[in-house]
């Protein structure tokens, strides 16, 4: 097994989710290759996948971080999901270090989001 998966297994839920999410982002970038908005070649370090999870089928975009921000970022995706009465997921390559680990800033945001969900 790779060191990344071993570290994720030894970590907490956030570490495991971060590992799986980064692998999903990597797959999406390799599969899509070009930003669906600007048509530039994607780089996993700054790519973003945003998925609105709907009963009739998920809708996912794979774009550069800049294009994602220009389209309204997480706030826009949340509004779309709210419109459909569903949930959403965003995986942002900018949340990871060069070594592929979740950054401290991203971890703090996720911990805060999870605390709000529980409260």
Q: Give the global pTM.
A: 0.86
Task: List 87's β-bridge partners, or say none.
Answer: 53
Given this model, what pLDDT does residue 97 score?
92
Q: Name the DSSP letter for residue 95.
A: G
pLDDT at 28 over 70: yes
Sequence-ordered alpha helix ranges (H) in 33-103:
65-70, 73-84
pLDDT bucket at 98, cuts 50 / 70 / 90? confident
Greater model confidence, 6 or 88: 88
Work out the burial of residue 88: count CB atoms within 10 Å of its CB; fewer than 13 is exposed, 13-18 middle, 19 or more buried.
buried
């Amino acid at each position: 097994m790779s060191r990344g998966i071993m570290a994720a297994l030894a970590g907490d839920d956030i570490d495991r989710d971060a590992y799986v999410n980064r692998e999903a982002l990597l797959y999406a970038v390799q599969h899509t290759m070009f930003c669906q908005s600007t048509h530039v070649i994607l780089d996993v370090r700054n790519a973003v996948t945003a998925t609105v999870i709907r009963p009739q089928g998920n809708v996912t975009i794979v774009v550069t971080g800049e294009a994602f921000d220009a389209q309204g970022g997480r706030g826009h995706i949340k509004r779309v999901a709210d419109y459909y009465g569903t949930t959403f997921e965003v995986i942002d390559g900018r949340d990871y270090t060069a070594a592929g680990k979740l950054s401290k800033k991203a971890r703090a945001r996720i911990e805060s989001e999870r605390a709000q969900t529980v409260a």
